[in-house]
Amino acid sequence: MVPDIYLNAIASALGGKIEQNNANNLHQPQEDCERIVKKTGVRGRTIALPGQFTSDLSCMATSELLRKLNTSASAIQTLLVCTQTPDHLIPGVSSRVHGELGFPEECLVFDINQGCSGFVVGTQTVTALLRSSSDSAVLINADTYSRLIRPNDLATRVLFGDAATASMFSTQPPGLRVIYNRCFANGNGYDAFVARNSATRIDPDHSAGIYMDGPGILNFALHVVPEAIHQALKANGLTIEQIRLFAFHQANSFMIGKLTQKLHISAEQAPQNCEHLGNTVSASIPLLLLDHWQELKDRELVMAIGFGVGLSWGVSLFEYRSDH
């Protein structure tokens, strides 16, 4: 029999500085800043301090998770870090977390490179690994995109925040039981979101940093995300109304508004966190789940929807189980 897998708990760590989207920080007229805030819904973002790297935020979030669960890293056999902004190309962020926090020697450790669909991708991977070979796993979602933003590229600068989450998965309740998980990709959209001159490929015609085709990604998301949600509902014999919480990747308020409007999802069903955090890449969904964890009641359903760079997207469906 295939064992059930539960997301037991989440903890987070935010970049140490808050950057408001105002005239002072953006060097734009205050009127334009207010327009940007109104359109994106992002009032401010948490940004990593100068000496604060993805591995630091990852260690902080994981320490908090272990403290919260009153457990030790030494009992965990799988450690995955989903990031696109590692400290170094070699080794992965997961190696540093493993050493710093005392994970055991018999432990599967690697970084996943995925962006805004990284929580769903990570959930699918962790679920498969737990079913196959171990009892508990930590999935970290951590990025410091601020280090790859071109300072004058307002379109991306106003959106992204730096944060990490650490999520404990195991074969034991309580928590969010994984019911369903599907991931999708369309590599033809590879160029829609690229960090140029960021690794081994150097292009002297471009300055280093993130290039985003905003309208292209919006069109893509409005097309594929509702389809993936309907497919998930159908596969599980459910309707929109039966989902207690839709945890959309927090791309920005405008995009989430368009998606919920198209899907007839109420604002109560689809809360947001990007007003003060910005788009925190693959950490945005677990940050949202953390915000609303205490409100969940036994057997309520939660759907997580990731989408973005790659292009890639995916849906996880969970059932909250309060019983031990």
Question: Which residues of the shown chain bind a second copy in the complex (CB under 8 A)?
Answer: 53-54, 79, 84-92, 94-100, 103, 105-115, 118, 121, 124-125, 127-129, 131-133, 144, 147-148, 181-190, 193-196, 198-201, 210, 309-312
User: Measured from the CB of residue 165, what is the shortest distance to a second copy in angstroms?
Assistant: 18
User: Measured from the CB of residue 183, what is the shortest distance to a second copy in angstroms?
Assistant: 4
Contact 274, 255 (CB under 8 A): no
Q: Which is nearer to a second copy, 33 or 163 (CB)?
A: 163
User: From CA 301, how far away is CA 309, in angstroms rounded?
Assistant: 27
Q: Which residue has the tokens 């609303």?
A: 292
Q: Which is nearer to a second copy, 76 or 245 (CB)?
A: 76
Question: What one-character-per-residue DSSP string does 34-61 give?
Answer: HHHHHHH---EEEE--TT--HHHHHHHH
Q: Which is nearer to a second copy, 54 or 260 (CB)?
A: 54
Q: Which residues have C-beta within 8 Å of that of residue 153, sequence separation ≥ 6?
A: 209, 210, 211
Q: Which is nearer to a second copy, 202 or 267 (CB)?
A: 202
Strand partners, 195: 210
Q: Is the dihedral of CA 198, 200, 205, 211 positive or negative?
A: negative
CA atoms within 13 A on the CB side of 324: 0
User: From CA 80, how far away is CA 142, in angstroms rounded?
Assistant: 11
Q: Which is nearer to a second copy, 112 or 233 (CB)?
A: 112
User: Measured from the CB of residue 309, what is the shortest distance to a second copy in angstroms?
Assistant: 5
User: Measured from the CB of residue 322, what is the shortest distance to a second copy in angstroms?
Assistant: 26
Q: Which is nearer to a second copy, 29 or 99 (CB)?
A: 99
User: Measured from the CB of residue 290, what is the shortest distance to a second copy in angstroms?
Assistant: 23
**Amino acid, single-letter form, for residue 108:** L
**3-state SS class at 150:** coil
User: From CA 221, how far away is CA 244, in angstroms rounded?
Assistant: 22
The torsion angles phi and psi of 21, rounded to 5 degrees, stand at -80, 70
User: Measured from the CB of residue 125, what is the shortest distance to a second copy in angstroms?
Assistant: 7
Name the token pair of 286: 């677990």
Q: Which is nearer to a second copy, 54 or 272 (CB)?
A: 54
User: Measured from the CB of residue 76, what is the shortest distance to a second copy in angstroms?
Assistant: 12
Name the token pair of 21: 């989207």
